[in-house]
């Protein structure tokens, strides 16, 4: 199938394969804190990013720039509960590191670029952030050199200026080089200014250890990072921060894996829980929206936990994410109507 017709899906196997791939001792899970970032002074804001703040507790949803059977939406039709809307996806070009975006006007029923841009402005006027997501499971974006890092930063910033995006989401599921992605994101931050919204959507295996390239990148850019919304689906079994193995589709899977990030160096405000909006939104790992709410309660307040209960609470946890606003709409908005008010009501 063409990439534009499927949600990014992990290729991680079940328990045995996952543990073999990890190859690490739990004693090394939480090594030293975030690596020292380059002390470059941020330059003046040149792009559209402003100082509009993402809410303390935020709901993130991916908006599909294609028709794969979910409800086709214009950006103006995205449910009001969503605080961050990630436009999926920007794609690689023939130049290393460079990305481009083309609105699928035909697939979206004649949605024009002018309407799209106007809808972005309207969402922003309503207090929402609209960002461009880069990658996806079949995305071929690679930032593996200094030149590619420069190309990435320049091209993303150009998209921000052209469409008015507030920032970027990193959803690279086929490898990531922490050195050069860090360089790219710091360069983008200098160009865009302090209002840049920077999110990430790693797979579960990408965040099992601070030695992983994705986790290292998140820590490297911690001072400019908005939130990491890990995908708790299409995963197989994974280790929790207590050293036990948990299977996807349970409250324990959400809380015990979030704990790794919370204890591994990210601030609670930089951690979100990503789940599918419906059973059709992913190949596996769907949980009812009520389970997402229980996981958030467990992490924020120590209530509604399963067998795993963290040793402390994280009331500042950012919130939750879903793939996608379109699948949510196709399912009667059950996800956003349930999780959204709960996120916004966290302490």
What residues are annotated to the active site?
173
CA-wise closest residue to 196 among 233, 172, 171, 221: 221
Strands 245-246 and 271-276: unpaired
Question: Which residues, 6+ apart, have CB-to-CB distance to 199 below 8 Å?
Answer: 60, 84, 86, 131, 167, 168, 169, 170, 226, 227, 228, 229
Contact between 95 and 151 (Cβ < 8 Å): yes
CA-wise closest residue to 296 among 346, 245, 260: 346
Backbone angles phi, psi at 86, to 5 degrees: -100, 115
Question: Which residues, 6+ apart, have CB-to-CB distance to 321 below 8 Å?
Answer: 59, 60, 61, 62, 201, 229, 272, 273, 274, 275
Bridge partners (DSSP) of residue 198 are 168
Cα–Cα distance for residue pair 261/250, rounded to 1 Å: 18
Question: Which residues, 6+ apart, have CB-to-CB distance to 56 below 8 Å?
Answer: 269, 316, 318
């Amino acid at each position: 199938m063409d990439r534009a017709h499927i949600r990014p899906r992990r290729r991680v196997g079940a328990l045995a394969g996952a543990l073999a791939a990890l190859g690490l001792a739990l004693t090394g899970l939480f090594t030293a804190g975030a690596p020292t970032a380059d002390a470059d002074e941020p330059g003046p804001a040149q792009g559209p990013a402003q100082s509009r703040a993402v809410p303390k507790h935020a709901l993130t949803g991916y908006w599909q720039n294609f028709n794969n059977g979910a409800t086709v939406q214009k950006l103006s039709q995205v449910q009001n509960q969503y605080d961050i809307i990630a436009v999926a996806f920007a794609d690689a070009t023939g130049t290393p590191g460079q990305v481009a975006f083309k609105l699928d006007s035909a697939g979206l029923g004649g949605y024009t670029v002018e309407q799209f841009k106007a809808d972005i402005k309207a969402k922003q006027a309503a207090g929402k952030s609209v960002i461009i997501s880069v990658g996806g499971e079949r995305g071929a974006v690679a930032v593996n050199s200094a030149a590619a890092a420069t190309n990435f930063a320049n091209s993303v910033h150009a998209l921000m200026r052209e469409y008015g995006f507030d920032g970027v989401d990193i959803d690279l599921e086929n490898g990531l080089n922490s050195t050069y992605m860090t360089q790219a994101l710091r360069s983008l931050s200098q160009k865009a200014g302090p209002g840049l919204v920077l999110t990430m959507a790693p797979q579960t295996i990408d965040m099992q250890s601070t030695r992983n390239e994705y986790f290292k990148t998140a820590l490297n850019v911690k001072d400019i990072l908005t939130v990491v919304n890990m995908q708790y689906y299409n995963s197989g079994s994974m280790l929790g921060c207590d050293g036990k193995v948990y299977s996807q589709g349970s409250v324990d899977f959400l809380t015990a894996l979030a704990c790794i990030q919370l204890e591994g160096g990210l601030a609670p405000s930089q951690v979100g829980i990503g789940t599918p909006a419906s059973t059709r939104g992913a190949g596996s790992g769907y949980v009812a929206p009520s389970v997402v709410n229980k996981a958030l309660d467990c992490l924020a307040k120590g209530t509604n936990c399963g067998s795993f209960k963290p040793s402390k609470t994280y009331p500042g946890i950012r919130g939750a994410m879903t793939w996608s606003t379109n699948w949510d709409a196709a399912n009667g908005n059950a996800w956003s109507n349930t999780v959204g008010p709960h996120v916004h009501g966290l302490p």
